[in-house]
Structure 1
Amino acid sequence: MSILKRYFIELTFNGSKYHGWQKQENAISVQQVLNNAMSTLLRQDVETLGCGRTDSGVHATQLFAHFDAMAELDENKFLKSLNSLLPYDIAVNRLIPVHPEAHARFDAVKRSYQYQVHFKKDPFKQGFSWLLRDVPDIQKMNRAAAILKEYRDFSCFSKSNTQTFTNNCVITRAEWESNGSSLVFHISADRFLRNMVRAIVGTLISIGRNEINEDDLRKIIESKNRSKAGASVPACGLYLTEVVYPYI
């Protein structure tokens, strides 16, 4: 009887054509495409488990998943073969042997996202950044973003009925960076709720547009009511950029 060996796989993907990471009944997802390719390559049924889920249209420059294999795998050969089976918009970058109990979701200690915004029509940013007409006040947005680190319960930024045990998150970074004709929002936390980053960005943009003020953000967070927060911004500008584990 062969002993299953556990591996982490690091991948990156353009999420434009996918209904998020997680496998679904009636829609194509990154996980389903990856599972199918790996099952073909390894000649066994492979079920990956990701570090989290991404919404439809969201991209990832770094996402980890774990899986079990019946054989010991050579990283270079495995990556080359798997990439040849995957479509152009999904790429695998690393294969990492881990201990049998390692868990891609529960063992992650930090996750980071970026949200891209631009202000000048650019065909090469279509589908990869959100086009805004007017430039919001970045100083106001950064003062408001700093307030996020004072709180733990972010129910106001979460989709309802997500079946999570808690809506508490520890945010360690939240700031806007100006890159000329574009803005990037950076946010890091130990965990994120469904739709949380897009709802935070929408709320901060409302502050930057003077539709609400910075003090209103405290009232929104303390209300724990999603309807009080800003609208979710489009998925195209959102990227999962980093996932950190204590043993990688």
Structure 2
Amino acid sequence: MSRFKLTLEYDGSAFHGWQLLKGHSSVQGKIMDACREVFKTDRFELYGSGRTDAGVHALGQVAHLDVATQLSTTQMRYKLNDNLPASISIIAIEEVDPKFHARYDAIARSYIYQIATRKTAFGKKYAYWIKDDLNVVDMQAAADMMVGMKDFRSFGDKDSETKSTIVEVTSVNVYRDGESIIVHVVGSHFLWKMVRRMVGVLIEAGRGNINASKLRSFFERHSDEPAKLTVPPSGLYLEHVYYPGEKINDKPIPLLYIR
């Protein structure tokens, strides 16, 4: 049995997230179905770098697959993609060291959140429309306050299995591009719903409703306010999962921006 690293993208609109969940359609479940068809066996293991929630997309999700096969990695990619829905695409497959672990070997992850500044006929599943005029300068000032090793307990979820709420965020940048506002976040890891709550707070900063003092208080003591500001999953993309030796990029890769 060999171990393979899979890099994939998916439109999360129709899925109940990455993780296999009985009674729901998941990205992991669809890939496992394709594996059964291609390899003609149930003897394989598939692990993702982390879960994404229902409706969240991925541009560079990573998983590792343990399976016995004589197929080349190119043949594996073609055959698996032939058996996957159009909304899931495996970009690359490479054989890796048996000790490689998609989740535990990751050193950083990056996310993109897309905000539409106008109503769009095509972007509801892929962006969050904000009618208000947001001040991007104020949003960036708030984003700068989120960088560093901090206690993000106010941005996590009480139902999360994560014990520690200390997270190192290495960069948070806000860009205006056409009629989109893009929030790009890079960190060691993220708590459940953390990025969506960070973006919700940044939006309120852009509206002028959250100042530096209020934002600072979210890190000094627990607050339920960020949870109330959780933005929809439709605008969120897992951009990249980084492993040792990779250079971390603090600028987002291009999306289908709203013009």
* One-letter identity of the residue aligned with 2:14: K
Instruction: Specify the alignment match of 2:54 in structure 1.
Output: 56
Out of 173, 176, 188, the residue aligned to residue 175 of structure 1 is: 173
TM normalised by structure 1 equals: 0.95
Preserved CA contact (<8 Å) 1:153 1:224: no
**Residue matched to 1:124:** 122
In the TM superposition, what is the alpha-carbon distance from 1:120 to its structure 2 partner? 1.6
SS in 2 for 1:170: strand
Tell me if 1:42 matches 2:19.
no
* Residue 247 of structure 1, CA deviation: 5.8
- Could you say if the C-alpha distance between residues 137 and 62 of structure 1 is closer, same or farther in structure 2, counting changes exceeding 3 Å? same
Which residue does the alignment assign to 2:231? 233
Q: Contact between 1:202 and 1:233, CA under 8 Å: does it hold in 2? A: yes
Q: Distance in 2 between matches of 1:67 and 1:247?
A: 21
**Identity %, equivalent residues:** 34
Listed one character per residue, the Cα deviations across residues 162-214 of structure 1 (whole Å, up to 9, x for unaligned) are 12131111111101001121100000001011000000000111111112212
Structure 2 residue 18 is the aligned partner of structure 1 residue 21: yes
Alignment counterpart, residue 69 of structure 1, candidates 67, 86, 101? 67
Distance 2:178 2:34 in 1: 41
1:96 corresponds in structure 2 to 94
CA separation of 1:246 and 1:72: change in aligned 2, threshold 3 A:
farther
1:245 is matched with: 243
Give the aligned residue type for 1:31: Q
| Rounded Cα–Cα distance in structure 2 between residues aligned with 1:73 and 1:9 | 15
Paired with 1:144 and 1:133, the residues of 2 have a C-alpha distance of 20
Moved over 2 A (4+): none
Q: What TM-score results when the alignment is normalised by the length of structure 2? A: 0.91
Alignment correspondent of 2:254: none
1:213 matched to 2:211: yes
Q: CA deviation at 1:150?
A: 3.6
Alignment-derived partner of residue 112 in structure 1? 110
Shift of the alpha carbon at 1:99? 0.9
- Whether the aligned pair in 2 keeps the contact of 1:140 and 1:214 (CA below 8 Å) is no
Aligned-CA RMSD value: 1.3
CA contact (8 A) 2:73 2:95 kept: no
Structure 1, unaligned runs of 5 or more: none
1:31 match: secondary structure: helix
**CA–CA distance in structure 1, aligned partners of residues 103 and 17 of structure 2:** 16
1:114 partner amino acid: I
State the Cα distance separating 1:51 from its structure 2 match: 0.4
Matching residue's letter, 2:154? C
What is the identity, as a one-letter code, of the residue corresponding to 1:39? R
Mark the runs of 5 or more structure 2 residues left unpaired by the alignment. Answer: 247-259
